[in-house]
Amino acid sequence: MPRTSNGRERLVQAGVELFSQRPYGSIGVAELCAHAGVNKGSFYYFFPSKEALALAVIDHHWTWQQGVWAGILDDPGTILERLRALFAATTKMQVDARVGTGWVTGCLFGNLALEVSSQNEPVRLRLEKIFDEQIDMIRSALAAAVASGELDRPADDVDGAARAIVAQLEGLVLFAKVFNDPSQLDALWQNSLRLLGPTPSPTR
C-alpha cells in the first residue's frame, strides 16, 4: 500500500500540536495517528518509536523558532529594541495559544524538558543543544552591542547575561502556563533592563 506523500509531515505537525497541549506521556501512537489522519502502519514506516517522532518534532519546532529569533535579532534596530521585539513575539505566541485553546501552552521545549529529560537521554541531549543555541544567539547580539559601544557592560560578562535572559524567558513562560496568564511575561522587559544595566546615550 503506498504511503501518503505528506504522512511524515502530518505526523510531525500532530506531534507539535499534541505535545504542546498535553503531557508527552499521556499521548500514544494511536492518538498521534488519528490526529494526523494516518494509519498505524504509516507511523512505523516513518518513525521507529514515539521517541523518534518527538525528536523530529523538536527539530521541526526549533527550525521554525530559530527563524523567528534570527529575523528579530538580525534586525538593524538597537539591542534593546530587538530584545523587546523578541519578548513581544514570545508573549504573542502565548496569547494566541490562550485565545485558540483557552490555555497558555507554554514552551514546547520547556514542557518536554520538565517531563521527559530525566527519563530520556536522547531527548535531553537534543533539548540541551537547542537551549545552548538560544543562548548563543542572544550572546552574539549582546557581544555585538558591547563591541559597538551600544551596551555598557564588561565583554567577559556577556555569556552570563545571555544565559540569564534565556533562563528568565523560559521561567516566565512557565509562570504564564501555570497561572494561565500571558501577562506574567510582562516582567521580561524590566528584568532585562536591570540585568543589562544602562545603555550609553546616543551622541548627537
**Tens-place pLDDT, residues 24-44:** 999 999 999 999 999 999 999
Give the rounded distance of the alpha carbon of 145 from its chain centre: 23
Whether the predicted pLDDT of 185 surpasses 70: yes
Contact call for residues 42 and 4 (beta carbons, < 8 A): yes
Angle of the 108-116 helix axis to the 158-179 helix axis, nearest 10:
80
For 52-196, CATH gives 1.10.357.10
Residues with Cβ < 8 Å from 117, sequence gap 6 or more? 123, 124, 127
The per-type count for the chain, helices as H runs and strands as E runs, is: 9, 0
The top-level CATH class assigned to 1-48 is mainly alpha
pLDDT at 60: 97
Same fold, 1-48 and 52-196: no
Mean pLDDT of the 9-26 span:
93
Q: pTM, whole model, 2 decimals?
A: 0.89
**Residue boundaries of the structural domains of the chain:** 1-48, 52-196
Give the integer Cα–Cα distance in Å for 109 and 127. Answer: 7
pLDDT at 5: 63
pLDDT class of 1 with cuts at 50, 70, 90: very low
Predicted confidence (pLDDT) per residue in 63-98, tens digit: 999 999 999 999 989 999 999 999 999 999 999 999
Whether the predicted pLDDT of 193 surpasses 90: no
